[in-house]
Structure 1
């Protein structure tokens, strides 16, 4: 496959057929993902699985039942770190949590949780603010492999040094090492941090509102979506938030051109922190998401 981001006419036909096959055969809809990003990841799948072409990848997708899990894993982008962009977490600690402390119960939705690092970072923030016992975090993703790793809370020890720096820069009150145990070449986060986290399957492309949240955190996910899907997702977040609730996006993402932008005030523009106003929600509350357990195969 060519290494460039340009897509030939033939390759575009192959991509379109691949996307249709993935949706019709397995129910995963990637039709509204940013085309350049999708093409790049599909090319990588072709290379990694020695398929020769996108058509070869599609053939395996249609005829090998277990292959879809590898495809979905390759198409998602489960990349994160604890306290990623420390000024964002410092702002959450200093500007958002003191307001959320006025609620008797706090609900947070962390969408696109990847391997769980940001969900556990939120748990630590809440713990140090004395709010964890009356908080619940819904950490969702459509990738079952990512959810499984997030649930386990086990990470390479090589990441600990960077994460410790991030934690301190985010205003950490202790040592990050207080929150994990180290063995061999891995660290395992304290299981008490998982006590009030529900890891669950949720697909931002197709699924609906499932909770009323005081804070929605979705960082570095929208950059992979087309404009219509970004708007759909931001409307979903708007309708999930209580009035006065907070939205936190990635540093390369923005509300600027979204239909719901007028109902958000800017708390911190560079850090992409917003607060919802009073416009009524437009999406009805849907089913409660099903918690992920280690035996789940996951679904969209």
Structure 2
């Protein structure tokens, strides 16, 4: 009898590293899309100076500081204010009229990264007169990213893009009304975050924690495998009130989800869905 072919060493090392992260720190990346997670881990290995993933696993198991550095590679932190302005314009024109009918609002921004989308929602809601009666729950699995989101401080060279997006999203004022500048940084008004609750929450391992009228989770599920995508959509469904709204990223869809029957298209081209009454 011949032995079966040996597995790819790199794939074995990656699987062991992901298991170690889960067992040691309860961060579960085991069901992220393998092509994406391999690419990010290779980048971390090379830039952090490890010869292989086994050496990285040894270090991260015994050094929590290395964990925080690795999380910056494993969690995608690329965003901008009013990213995809047509999405925010659709929210303003199509969804906000429905939100006005509620005496109070809860909105969940899942995978909030450095807080660009959080501030976008806060500004939009302020301009529409809804911020004072809204609580925004902003969640992410990366503690360092949450700290940046809480600070509301961004490099000044990003503001031109933010401002352009804001106007394309139907902005009713100048973005400059919401920040001050100092030392090549833009500091956004803390009043925008007064109704924001920042939370460490994992779509992989955690459960529903509140009931919302709107959930926005954009460009997060593209990094999940199909079972994990279904889990996340199930959390969103269970979080939403009857006729509540779900917004996804431009490359994401509910078409193949086991929970698709729980939603109807609301603004199809912007991937905004509404939970059915059923």
Q: CA deviation at 1:119?
A: 0.7
Question: Are 2:126 and 1:165 aligned?
Answer: no
- In structure 2, the partner of 1:296 is none
Report the Cα distance in structure 1 between the residues aligned to 2:82 and 2:63, rounded to whole angstroms.
39
- In structure 1, the partner of 2:211 is 212
Q: Which residues of 2 match residues 182-221 of structure 1 at below 5 A?
A: 182-221=181-220
Q: CA deviation at 1:168?
A: 0.3
Report the Cα distance in structure 2 between the residues aligned to 1:96 and 1:179, rounded to whole angstroms.
23
- In structure 1, the partner of 2:46 is 47
- Structure (1/2) with the larger helix percentage: 2
- In structure 2, the partner of 1:247 is 246
- SS of 1:130's equivalent in the other structure is coil
- In structure 2, the partner of 1:102 is 101
Select between 261-270 and 147-156 the one with higher mean Cα deviation. 261-270
TM-score normalized by the length of structure 2: 0.96
Report the Cα distance in structure 1 between the residues aligned to 2:68 and 2:163, rounded to whole angstroms.
33
Report the Cα distance in structure 2 between the residues aligned to 1:62 and 1:220, rounded to whole angstroms.
29
C-alpha distance after superposition, 1:240-299 (max 9, x if no partner): 0000000000000000011111121101222100000123xxxxxxxxxxxxxxxxxxxx
Select between 147-156 and 258-267 the one with higher mean Cα deviation. 258-267
Report the Cα distance in structure 2 between the residues aligned to 1:25 and 1:235, rounded to whole angstroms.
27
Select between 19-28 and 106-115 the one with higher mean Cα deviation. 19-28
- In structure 2, the partner of 1:91 is 90
- In structure 2, the partner of 1:298 is none
C-alpha distance after superposition, 1:21-58 (max 9, x if no partner): 11111111111000000001111111111011111111
Q: Which residues of 2 match residues 273-292 of structure 1 at below 5 A?
A: 273-279=272-278
- Give the paired residue count: 272
Q: CA deviation at 1:73?
A: 2.1
- In structure 2, the partner of 1:78 is 77
Q: Which residues of 2 match residues 109-188 of structure 1 at below 5 A?
A: 109-188=108-187
* 5+ long unaligned stretches in structure 1: 1-7, 280-300
TM-score normalized by the length of structure 1: 0.89
- SS of 2:137's equivalent in the other structure is strand
What is the alpha-carbon root mean square deviation over aligned residues? Answer: 0.9
Report the Cα distance in structure 2 between the residues aligned to 1:200 and 1:26, rounded to whole angstroms.
17
- In structure 2, the partner of 1:20 is 19
Report the Cα distance in structure 1 between the residues aligned to 2:63 and 2:146, rounded to whole angstroms.
23
Question: Are 2:52 and 1:57 aligned?
Answer: no
